[in-house]
Each structure stands twice: as C-alpha cells, then as structure tokens.
C-alpha cells in the first residue's frame, strides 16, 4: 500500500482528532506503548529505532530504558518480583515487564468487605496538581493527551478470586447479591473521582480497559454485561462526554455481542484484539458506528512466530481493510519480549512507510 499523500501537514494532536472524527488525516496516526518487556529485551537497538519515529500521543523516542530491580533477581539469575498494589493485592511477576498473577487477594472472604477501603483519592489542588496541569497543557501544544486506565471488572477479579467473581455475577439475577454489587459500586465511585481528577488536570481523552473476552466468546453473557456493567460504565462516561472529551475503550478477546453497547455508551474509539474478529466485519461496523479502531498487529502469533514479510503484509492489510487514509483508525504498537528484532524492524518501518516518514 502506498503512503498517504499529505495535503496539509498536521500537528500530531490534530492528526489524532481527525482520525477520531473520521476525517482524512495527513498521515495515519501512531501510538507506541512503552512496554518495559520489549525495551529490556531489545535495549539500545530498539531505542535507536525509536529515535527515527514520532509518536502522535507521547512524542519522540517512545522506548525508554527498562530493567528489573536487582533486588528481585536471585543468585541463579532468576527474576521473581512481589509487589502489593494500591488495591491491596499482592502480585507475583516472573517475567519482567509482563503482567503478573495475584498471590493474595483482600476479598476472597466477603467478611472483609465492610472494612475494605479503595486507594486514596488523588488531589485536585495544591502544588503537585498545578504542576500536573501545567505539564498536561504543555503536552497538548503538540501531542494528543490520553490518560487513565478506568477498569471495573479487572479490579474485581484482582481483589477476589476470578472464578468466584464469575459465580457472583451469574447468581446475581436481580441485583440481589449485595456483596458483588457493593464491590462494583465501590470501584465505580473511586473511578468516578479519578475521572474528575483527570478532567480537572486536563486531557483530550480518558482510557477505559476491561478484558471480557476469550478467543471465541465472552467470559460472561452479554445479558449479564448489560445488566451489571453497562449502567456503571454509563455513569463513568457521562462526565467525560459532558466535558467534551473523548472516550477510549480497550477490551481483549471476542466481545462481538457487546460492540454495539460499547458504541451506545458514547465511546469514540476502541482498542480490540483484532485476531478475535473478522476484520472486514469489524471495519464495516467501525464506520457505521463511528467508533475509531486502534490497529494493533497481533502479538502472540504474527509478531512472535511470523516472518518479517508476514508482518509487512499484515500492516498493509490492516491499512487497507480499515481505510486509514479516510480516518477512523490509528496504529498501536507494543513491543513485547519474544519478538524477533527483524519483526520489530519490519513493523516499525512498514508503518513509517505508510506514514511517508
């Protein structure tokens, strides 16, 4: 596929807004996730490659150095990190930069719920807050500012055993299971305060993220999702839309049964797991629903086991299927451990070629 031919150069922030509005950008927008796993494995080679690109969300040089703290490496060179998060969950990490697994959860026993407290709220005043406002404003002079990770389900299955949460949801037939509803409301209240903090600080968009899908279907039924989660998301989305800001939503797996519901919330963009969908159908849905799509080339198969030519073909196929020249999509790149560097080069260079860089 040929590179886009820019008619009038745009600032990165303008470029992202154009794509979200399904207006032709001067070039397809690009977002890099600064994954520590990839930065640690590929080191200076990746950082040097990153210096050749400019991210429309975060700016130049998107791959900062990363390495595990030596405290978490034993005498045999094995990495094992234990970390307790702000929700009181003790996590174990066995691969640096890759998500861990919970070892201790505060709400496996519902008797702990009455005394359970969410993390402290972030301030909306004071010197540190004013400094964050200033940094946000400076960033937005050139780049698009997307902040937050607003999750409900992912916190629920972290603070309580995953299968117990699924059973709680399955048996909450008429909103009559008090504990699981109380937990979800506690998380939602906290997220609402977090959203107000982000809006006060200054953002262009707020990112939601909850993984509801497996490779072929949802982990809960669409009916349960609509009854239990949709009203809570609606409550969280409302102030963002009222402030005139954009809403991004990430969810892994096949969530075909709720795509229309996500769009109906007022979401402007989704970051889906592309290999869980028929791409032509997803692209058609995107334009009909006016929900932009993050084009995230598949990591588990393509980037890990494919060839450089496979990667180049996949990038071109995504660009054509989602008509990136007409807006409505952007490339999202996340470099994990286990990617052959030749595939990393092919990915970054193929996208750069499409962008005319």
Tell me the sheet residues that pair with 73.
79
pLDDT tens for each residue of 91-141: 999 999 999 999 999 999 999 999 999 999 999 999 999 999 999 999 999
Bridge pairing between strands 30-33 and 269-272? unpaired
Whether 110 is in a domain gets the answer yes
Q: How many CB atoms lie within 10 A of CB 75?
A: 5
Total of domains in the chain: 1
Whether 181 is in a domain gets the answer yes
The whole-angstrom separation of Cα 212 and Cα 221 is: 10
Q: In which band, very low, low, confident or very high, does the pLDDT at 213 lie, cut at 50, 70 and 90?
A: very high
Burial of 223 (0-12, 13-18, 19+ CB in 10 A): exposed
Q: What is the DSSP letter of 270?
A: E
Q: In which band, very low, low, confident or very high, does the pLDDT at 2 lie, cut at 50, 70 and 90?
A: very low
Residue 7's pLDDT is what? 56
Rounded (5°) CA angle 106-108-112: 55
Tell me the sheet residues that pair with 209.
250
The mean pLDDT value for 37-46 works out to 92
Q: In which band, very low, low, confident or very high, does the pLDDT at 282 lie, cut at 50, 70 and 90?
A: very high
Whether 260 is in a domain gets the answer yes
Whether 4 is in a domain gets the answer no
pLDDT tens for each residue of 227-246: 999 999 999 999 999 999 99
pLDDT tens for each residue of 11-25: 999 999 999 999 999
Whether 6 is in a domain gets the answer no
Look at residue 169 and tell me whether its pLDDT is greater than 80.
yes
Mean pLDDT of the chain: 95
pTM: 0.95
Instruction: Tell me the CATH number at 207.
Output: 3.20.20.210
Q: What is the DSSP letter of 11?
A: -
Whether 3 is in a domain gets the answer no
Residue 335's pLDDT is what? 93
Q: In which band, very low, low, confident or very high, does the pLDDT at 172 lie, cut at 50, 70 and 90?
A: confident
Tell me the residue range of the domain where 212 lies: 12-354
Q: Per the structure block, which two tokens stand in for 95?
A: 């691969």
Strands (DSSP E) along 85-241, which ranges? 90-93, 101-104, 146-150, 205-209
pLDDT above 70: percentage of residues in the chain: 98
The mean pLDDT value for 153-181 works out to 93
């Amino acid at each position: 596929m040929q590179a886009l031919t820019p008619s009038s150069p745009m600032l990165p922030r303008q470029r992202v807004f154009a794509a979200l509005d399904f207006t032709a950008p001067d070039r397809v927008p690009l977002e890099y996730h600064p994954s520590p796993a990839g930065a640690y494995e590929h080191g200076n080679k990746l950082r040097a490659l990153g210096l050749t690109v400019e991210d429309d969300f975060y700016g130049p040089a998107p791959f900062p150095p990363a390495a595990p703290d030596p405290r978490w490496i034993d005498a045999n060179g094995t990495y094992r990190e234990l970390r307790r998060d702000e929700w009181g969950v003790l996590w174990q990490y066995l691969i640096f930069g890759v998500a861990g697994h919970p070892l201790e959860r505060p709400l496996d026993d519902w008797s702990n719920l009455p005394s359970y407290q969410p993390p402290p709220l972030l301030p909306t005043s004071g010197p540190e807050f004013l400094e964050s406002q200033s940094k946000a404003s400076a960033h937005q002079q050139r780049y698009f500012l997307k902040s937050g990770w607003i999750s409900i389900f992912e916190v629920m299955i972290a603070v309580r055993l995953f299968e117990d949460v699924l059973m709680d949801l399955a048996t909450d037939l008429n909103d009559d299971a008090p504990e699981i509803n109380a937990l979800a409301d506690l998380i939602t209240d906290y997220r609402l305060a977090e959203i107000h903090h982000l809006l006060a600080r200054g953002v262009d968009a707020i990112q939601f993220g909850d993984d509801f899908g497996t490779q072929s279907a949802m982990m809960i039924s669409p009916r349960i999702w609509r009854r239990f989660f949709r009203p809570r998301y609606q409550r969280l989305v409302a102030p963002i839309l009222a402030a005139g800001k954009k809403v991004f939503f990430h969810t892994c797996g096949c969530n075909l049964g709720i795509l229309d519901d996500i769009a109906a919330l007022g979401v402007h963009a989704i970051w889906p797991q592309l290999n869980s969908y028929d791409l032509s159908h997803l692209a058609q849905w995107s334009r009909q629903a006016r929900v932009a799509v993050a084009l995230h080339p598949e990591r588990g198969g393509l980037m890990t086991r494919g060839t450089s030519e496979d990667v180049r073909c996949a990038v071109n196929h995504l660009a054509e299927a989602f008509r990136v020249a007409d807006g409505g999509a952007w490339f999202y790149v996340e470099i994990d451990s286990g990617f052959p560097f030749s595939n990393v080069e092919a990915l970054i260079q193929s996208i750069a070629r499409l962008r005319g860089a």
